[in-house]
């Protein structure tokens, strides 16, 4: 029998939202839905959302200093493979492609410009 996961989202330290049962085959997809909802890359820079983890949990938390700090936490049997998959999926959210040529832009550059340096010069 596979162990289910739980996802909880906190505002300050109060439970705000969550899923009490998430199947192992849906955990990354469901966690990323919560992450994108509360830490939308359009509004949160990658370096303002911090990762931490333990043996049975992992969390991303808001470090912007805003008035409503949020934290999305995954609880369950956390493996190194699951941590790596979630970190990779989160990192992909912050990579933008140039609409002119399709070239991937690093997150620092993509927050400053809508197009890459080559397309800006055209």
Taking only the tens place, the pLDDT of each residue in 53-103 is: 999 999 999 998 888 899 999 999 999 999 999 999 999 888 877 877 878
In the structure encoding, which two tokens stand for residue 38, read together? 């509360």
Confirm if 92 and 107 have CB atoms less than 8 A apart: no
Q: What is the pLDDT of residue 73?
A: 97
The residues pairing with 120 across neighbouring beta strands, listed in sequence order, are: none
Please give the mean pLDDT across all residues of the chain. 87
The reply to whether 27 falls in a domain is yes
The reply to whether 117 falls in a domain is no
Of 104 and 72, the one with more pLDDT: 72
Q: Which helix (H) or strand (E) holds 73?
A: strand 70-75
Confirm if 85 and 28 have CB atoms less than 8 A apart: yes
What is the reported pTM?
Answer: 0.81
Q: What is the pLDDT of residue 6?
A: 96
Confirm if 44 and 36 have CB atoms less than 8 A apart: no
- Distance CA(74)–CA(27), nearest Å, equals 9
The reply to whether 10 falls in a domain is yes
Residue 112: pLDDT over 60: no
In the structure encoding, which two tokens stand for residue 109, read together? 């550059």
Q: Which of 24-33, 69-78, 101-110 has the lowest average pLDDT?
A: 101-110
- Distance CA(62)–CA(103), nearest Å, equals 29
Q: Which domain holds residue 81?
A: 5-94
Work out whether strand 70-75 and strand 5-11 pair parallel, antiparallel, or are unpaired: antiparallel
**Total structural domains in the chain?**
1
With cut-offs at 50, 70 and 90, classify the pLDDT of residue 110: very low
DSSP 85-100: HHHHHHHHHT-EE-TT
The reply to whether 80 falls in a domain is yes
The reply to whether 65 falls in a domain is yes
Residue 48: pLDDT over 60: yes
The reply to whether 105 falls in a domain is no
31-54 average pLDDT score: 92
The reply to whether 108 falls in a domain is no
Q: What is the pLDDT of residue 76?
A: 96
The reply to whether 24 falls in a domain is yes
């Amino acid at each position: 029998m596979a162990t289910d996961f739980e996802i909880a989202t906190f505002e300050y330290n109060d439970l705000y939202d969550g899923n009490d049962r998430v199947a192992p085959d849906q955990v990354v997809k469901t966690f990323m839905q919560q992450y994108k909802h509360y830490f939308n890359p359009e509004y949160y820079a990658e370096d303002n959302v911090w990762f931490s983890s333990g043996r049975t949990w992992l969390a991303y938390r808001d470090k912007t200093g805003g008035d409503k700090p949020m934290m999305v936490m995954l609880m369950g049997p956390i493996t190194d493979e699951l941590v790596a998959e979630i970190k990779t999926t989160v990192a992909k959210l912050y990579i933008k492609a140039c609409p002119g040529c399709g070239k991937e832009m690093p997150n620092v550059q993509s927050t400053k410009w809508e197009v890459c340096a080559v397309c800006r010069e055209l």
